[in-house]
Amino acid sequence: MSDSASNPMRDAIQSAISDNPVILFMKGTPDAPSCGFSARSVAALQALDTRFAAVDILPDPRIRQELTAISNWPTTPQLFVRGELVGGCDIITEMFDSGELAELLGAKEQSEIDPVALPQAPMQIQNNLA
């Protein structure tokens, strides 16, 4: 295992997780997800009108490698809330359906969401992890 002082990629990922209350590591971007799992995860966050940062793991394989080492979670997307791993798409979807995700995020309950209102655009994060 490498020392964090000699691993700028791991440090950058850790900083992104620490600096953003809600961050989704995904394939693609919120506006253009590159897989269905990422698309479903983004849709759940947007349906709850949640502002979130997102990091595209596709441009550099080291992002995924270091993220997996940090989280000990093998798949993407990966959602972190207040520095803690929530899980991947299946967990995000289950939590959304049960209302637990809304509670965790301090969002309105799904029944209170105006289906006509458009969700705010997610906060963008520049991918400096490469």
Report residue 82 as tokens.
């207040």
Task: Give the pLDDT confidence of 97-130 residue by residue, as tens digits.
Answer: 999 999 999 986 554 544 444 344 444 555 666 5
User: What is the domain count for the chain?
Assistant: 1
- 26 within a domain of the structure (yes/no): yes
CATH of the domain at 44: 3.40.30.10
Burial 85-105 (b: 16+ CB within 10 A, else e): bbbbbebbbebbeeeebbebb
Query: Which phi and psi (to 5°) does residue 86 adopt?
Result: -90, -45
| Of 85, 87, 83, nearest in space to 21 by CA | 83
Give residue 22's identity as a one-letter amino acid code: V
Question: Is 41 domain-assigned?
Answer: yes
Boundaries of domain holding 21: 4-107
pLDDT tens by residue, 30-71: 999 999 999 999 999 999 999 999 999 999 999 999 999 999
